[in-house]
Amino acid sequence: MTIKPDFSQVVPEHLGHIHFIGIGGSGMSGIARLLIQSGHKVTGSDVRDSGNIEELRRLGAHVAIGHDAANLGDADTVVVTSALWPTNPEYVLAQEKKLPILHRSQALKYLTTGKKLISVAGAHGKTTSTGMVVTGLRQLGKDPSFVNGGVIAEYGSSAASGSTDLFVIEADESDGSFLHYQTAVALITNVDPDHLDHYGSLENFEREFARFANGASDFVAISSDDAGAVRVTKLIQDKRIITFGEHESADVRIINLDASGARVSFELSYFGGNYSATLLVPGKHNAINAAGAFAVLVGLGLDPKASLAAIATFNGTQRRFELHGEVRGVKVYDDFAHHPTEVLAALSAARAVVGSGRLITVFQPHLYSRTRLFAKEFAEALALSDEVVVLDIYAAREDPEPGVTGALIADAYHDQEKMHYVPVWDDVPAAVAAIALSGDFVITMGCGDVYRQVPGILKALEA
C-alpha cells in the first residue's frame, strides 16, 4: 500500500532545494515548473522519461530516471504524491535525514498563498473545466497563474505563472487534499461516487465536498444536475451559490443543446439573457463543463457574453479525446476517462464524431477497488463501443486484490463476441490491429499508462 499524506507536516518558510519524487506527472511537473520560475533549485526523479520531464530539464531542473537514494542529493525539502510506495529509497532516506516531506498539495498551497484562488473539484471534468476557466480568464486579459492536471493544448503546458492575483488549480479530492487550500471560489463539477477506498462511504465522500464548498470565501459554482452535487448543495451554509446545468432551477441553464456532431452547440440562459456558443470540442459533457466555467467567470463579475465567447476558444487538453494518428484509414485516439460516468460521456462524444465508422475502445481499468465496485457499470458504459479490448488493471497506489482483474468487466459485457480480454500487455497492439478496419476509430482509454499502447497500435496497423 502506498503512503498516507501527512498533512500535519509544517511547511517551512523557505523551501530551499526541493526534490520531487515522481516529478513527471502533470500535477507534480506543473508545481515544479512554478517553483523553478520562482527561483527555487528543483531536482526530481521518475520511473520513465516524458515530455514533462524534458521541459523541466530545459528550465534547469536535474531529473533522474529511476529511483535511487543518491538522487536526493543535498535537498532541503521533499515533495511526494499519495501514489508513492513507502519503500521508495529516496523517501526512506528523506525520513532518515528528517527532511520536511510535503504532499504535493502542500507545495501547491505554498505557491497559492496570498492569491485569489479558484479551486476546481469533482469526480470528473476537473481538468477540462480548469482549462476552460484558465482560457476564459486569459482571453479576457486577466492572466491567472494556474496548475492543471493536464496540458492545456493552446498553451502547451499544465502550469504557468500569471501577472494577476488570480490563481486557478485543479483540486484533487482523491485523498482529501482539496480541503487544505485557501479557496476563494470553489467550482464543483459533480460529486459522482469515487475514491470510496479512501472515504469509506458515499456519505463521507459527500460530506467532505460540503466541507470544501463551505471553505470557499467568495462563492461556490456547483452542478444542478448531478445527484451528489444536489445533496452537497443542501449542506452549504451562508455562501453565495451559482448552480449550472440543464435543470430548470439552474442559475446558469443549458438550453438548445446539440451534441450530435464533432462540436457541441448550446445556449446558456443567465439572469434573463441568452448566450450562444459552439465549442471546439465535442460532447454534452463539455457543454456542462463550459457552463461551470461560465458560472465562475460571471461570478467574478465578468461580462456574460464575453465570458462565454472566451471559454469557447478552449481547444482541449492532452489525453482528452486526443487524435494521435491515422493508419490504413483507422484513426487512433486517446482519452483519460477512468470512471463509468466519464467513460459513458467520452464514448457518447466519440460516437457523435465517428459517424458511420466503428468505435473500438481499448480500456485499461484503474485501481482494484474501483474495478471491484464498478465492474458492471464499466461494462454498461463500454457498450457504446462496437468492439472492446479490456486490459488488466493499472494498480497505481493499491495492492492486488484476489480475484479482481480486468476479467470482471469483460465477463459482465453484454456481447461476448465483441469483447476481447487481453491481459498480456505486449499482445494488445496485435489484438487491436486484427479487429480494426478502414473507417474505424480506435480509442485507448484510462488514467494509467494505456496511452503507451498508442505507438504500438499504430505500428501494428501499418503491418
Q: Write out pLDDT tens, residues 81-111.
A: 878 889 999 999 999 999 999 999 999 999 9
Is residue 27 scored above 90 in pLDDT? no
Which CATH number is 354's domain given? 3.90.190.20
| pLDDT confidence band for 46 (50 / 70 / 90) | very high
Q: What's the pLDDT at 317?
A: 78
Among the three residues 311, 346, 371, which one is the final residue of a domain in this structure? Answer: 311
Which CATH number is 37's domain given? 3.40.50.720
Give a yes or no: residue 453 inside a domain: yes
143 and 66, same structural domain?
A: no
Strand-pairing partners, residue 421, are 390
Give a yes or no: residue 331 inside a domain: yes
Q: What's the pLDDT at 200?
A: 62
Q: Which residue is catalytic, options 77, 127, 128, 317?
A: 127
Q: What's the pLDDT at 300?
A: 98
* Residues above pLDDT 70, as percent of the chain: 98
Give a yes or no: residue 1 inside a domain: no
Mean pLDDT of all residues in 416-420: 96
Is residue 130 scored above 70 in pLDDT? yes
Mean pLDDT of all residues in 207-232: 95
Contact, 441 vs 360, CB < 8 A? yes
> In this predicted model, which residue has the larger pLDDT, 81 or 119?
119
Closest CA to 312 of 350, 286, 285: 286
Give a yes or no: residue 4 inside a domain: no
Q: Which residue is catalytic, options 109, 116, 126, 284?
A: 126
User: Domain range for residue 413?
Assistant: 322-462
| pLDDT confidence band for 1 (50 / 70 / 90) | low
Helices H, strands E: what count in the chain? 15, 21
Cα 346 to its chain centre, rounded Å, is 13
246 and 151, same structural domain?
A: yes
Mean pLDDT of all residues in 7-22: 91
| pLDDT confidence band for 315 (50 / 70 / 90) | confident
Give a yes or no: residue 12 inside a domain: no
In three-state secondary structure terms, 38 is: coil
Say if residue 103 is exposed, middle or buried (CB neighbours under 10 Å; 0-12, 13-18, 19+).
buried
Cβ-Cβ contacts under 8 Å for 201 (sequence gap 6 or more): none
Q: Which residue is catalytic, options 81, 109, 170, 444?
A: 170
> In this predicted model, which residue has the larger pLDDT, 6 or 315?
315
441 and 342, same structural domain?
A: yes
197 and 74, same structural domain?
A: no
Cell 533522474 found at: 64
> In this predicted model, which residue has the larger pLDDT, 153 or 402?
402
Residue 116 is a catalytic residue: no
Give a yes or no: residue 279 inside a domain: yes
Mean pLDDT of all residues in 426-440: 95
Give a yes or no: residue 5 inside a domain: no
Q: What's the pLDDT at 198?
A: 58
Task: Walk across the sheet containing 273-278 and list its strands.
Answer: 157-160, 145-152, 166-170, 116-121, 183-188, 219-223, 240-245, 252-258, 265-270, 273-278
Q: What is the pLDDT of residues 334-388, one digit of tens each?
A: 988 888 988 988 898 888 888 778 999 999 999 898 899 899 999 999 999 999 9
Is residue 287 scored above 70 in pLDDT? yes
Q: How far apart are the first and last CA of the chain?
A: 41
Residue 305 is a catalytic residue: no
Which CATH number is 193's domain given? 3.40.1190.10
Q: What's the pLDDT at 3?
A: 77
Give a yes or no: residue 139 inside a domain: yes
The pTM for the full model equals: 0.82
Is residue 10 scored above 90 in pLDDT? no
Mean pLDDT of all residues in 162-180: 88
Is residue 196 scored above 60 in pLDDT? no
286 and 228, same structural domain?
A: yes
Is residue 268 scored above 60 in pLDDT? yes
248 and 219, same structural domain?
A: yes
Q: What's the pLDDT at 193?
A: 67
Indicate the number of domains in the chain: 3
Among the three residues 82, 103, 124, which one is the final residue of a domain in this structure? Answer: 103
Mean pLDDT of all residues in 213-241: 96
Is residue 170 scored above 80 in pLDDT? yes
- Alpha-helical (H) ranges within 169-283 are 196-199, 202-214, 227-233
Residue 417 is a catalytic residue: no
